[in-house]
A and B are shown apart, each in its own frame.
Chain A
């Protein structure tokens, strides 16, 4: 019989067994950082917890968070739980300002992360028959190298193409019959456009079957577009250097949320303001703890990424939890009339309404008034004012249903609001406080 799971003994563990495994690993990791990392020991003492206080998973929420800023105290080696001779690799993650975050790997860490990737690639249907063109940046960034090791572990033929030089990318695909690509979504869309322009036929000139896309936010519409253009399956992957790079969250063929391997990560979703756990299924900040990392374990890491858990069991059979593809950054959250709101919630409502173009802006002013400026779709406009008024009303009502606050909606001409970018400033706060 054909093998369906890479590690069935782990991937199909019952919820209870998984939780027991996590508790066992958490106890070990908490003890290790307490004993070996002065920084963690001090943090634990500050809030008055000791490793022996961890008796159930419930107790874990009393342990302190680790933030990005914490990674810079005792920089760069201060968070190591193993002597330097055990460390074999450095990766960094570019911060927007100043020093990069430094993440260290032991030999064991490299291969456990690679194993998670191999498991995820296998989950997507890939095997040793496949040829992976790895078009992420090789170097300090985890994206390419960690994926590279995982794909090799699975036995795929890896083409370490790196990014850019689109003509060469396509030439490599044609010459070697690349079946899988790993790149950023924006680059994939570009490559797909060029492939189309060159008149190359998917399935004939180009043998692609799958794309693994990650490292930047993109919409479901873009995924469908890339899938359609290249006649392939696109899988979302989520990762961050602090947690070992790609392979933290990965989609299965159901393509409904990303599985996080819970034998390797402990997952929590918290309110970004209070740090308290949110109700199951609610949007909040993703908090991760490494369960297997030896060189540089990280406890309750505030990823600043917003998502929610998908509590329903996955039709693929895997018991490991699924998260919604990250919806944005916790730093983007704002509060209106006492309600926590994320621009992404507003965006997902707007993008589902016919007549609305790509861009929008959220303006807070006066005494807690929220105004949403929405660009109308050029093709929607037919000269009728009634239709525009109805659109306005629709938007306001659908937003009220989604966020419990009814905003004032203003329709503006397409192309007049600042261009949408991953990190674009969507919220302008002019409130009188």
Chain B
């Protein structure tokens, strides 16, 4: 579905050099990172990327032996002004949606950015949000021709 975008998640132990090994995969394959987040608990973490070639990234991480998952998420456009993110979050919380993880994708510096977030029940969340007067991020907005 075009209104969902895929986030690549990688399981990583907290070890020096780990992050570098991960970004190396993307760099080598010419995959551009559009946004990322790192959640870390003591001994391990989960690193998440929004990339311009998600299928390829997923495949390459798998091949390189990483523990990787592809998670659909929803992206909403933010206005790049004070209170922009706050308004989107206000909307999300007013719908009683719990954000499990999020990252920001700056599409055009100082002009256009997206709040991209994961939720427990994607379908339900989409139903709650789809008629809102906001712009959703579509895969076709950023995905490059893969392979």
Contacts and interface: CB of A to CB of B under 8 A. Distances in A.
Interface stretch (A209-217, A229-237, A380-388): A380-388
Interface residues of A, number: 17
Contacts of B71: 382-384
B44 A383 contact: no
Contacts of A386: 100
Given A385-B39, A386-B100, A388-B46, A412 B69 contact: no
A384 B100 contact: yes
Contact of A382 (B65, B66, B69): B69
A86 interface: no
B41 A376 contact: no
Given A383-B7, A384-B100, A410 B67 contact: no
Interface string B15-51: 0000000000000000000000001010111101000
A382 B118 CA distance: 12
B73 to A, nearest CB: 10
A412 B44 contact: yes
B4 interface: no
A416 B43 CA distance: 14
A381 to B, nearest CB: 5
Contacts of A384: 46, 71, 100-101, 118
A359 B45 CA distance: 20
A383 B66 contact: no
B100 A412 contact: no
A376 B69 contact: no
B117 interface: no
A264 B118 CA distance: 65
A384 B101 CA distance: 8
A413 B11 contact: yes
A415 B11 contact: no
Given A381-B69, A388-B46, A412 B118 contact: no
Contacts of B43: 410-411
A383 B69 contact: yes
B69 A410 contact: no
A414 interface: yes
Nearest to A384: B100
Interface string A378-417: 1001111110110000000000000000000011111110
B67 A381 contact: yes
B88 interface: no
A385 B66 contact: no
Nearest to B8: A383
A209 to B, nearest CB: 41
A412 B42 CA distance: 12
Given A383-B7, A388-B11, A378 B41 contact: no
Nearest to A378: B67
B116 to A, nearest CB: 13
Contacts of A376: 11, 67
Nearest to B66: A413
Nearest to B46: A385
Contacts of B13: 410-413, 416
Contacts of B68: 381
User: Which of A381, A385, A388 has the largest count of B CB atoms less than 10 A from its CB?
Assistant: A385
A383 B65 contact: no
B12 interface: yes
B21 to A, nearest CB: 11
13 contacts: A376-B11, A376-B67, A382-B71, A383-B71, A383-B101, A384-B100, A385-B41, A385-B46, A385-B101, A388-B44, A413-B13, A413-B67, A416-B13
Given A413-B11, A413-B12, 6 more contacts: A382-B9, A384-B46, A384-B100, A386-B100, A413-B13, A416-B13
**5 closest A-B pairs (Cβ-Cβ)?**
A383-B9, A383-B69, A383-B71, A410-B43, A381-B67
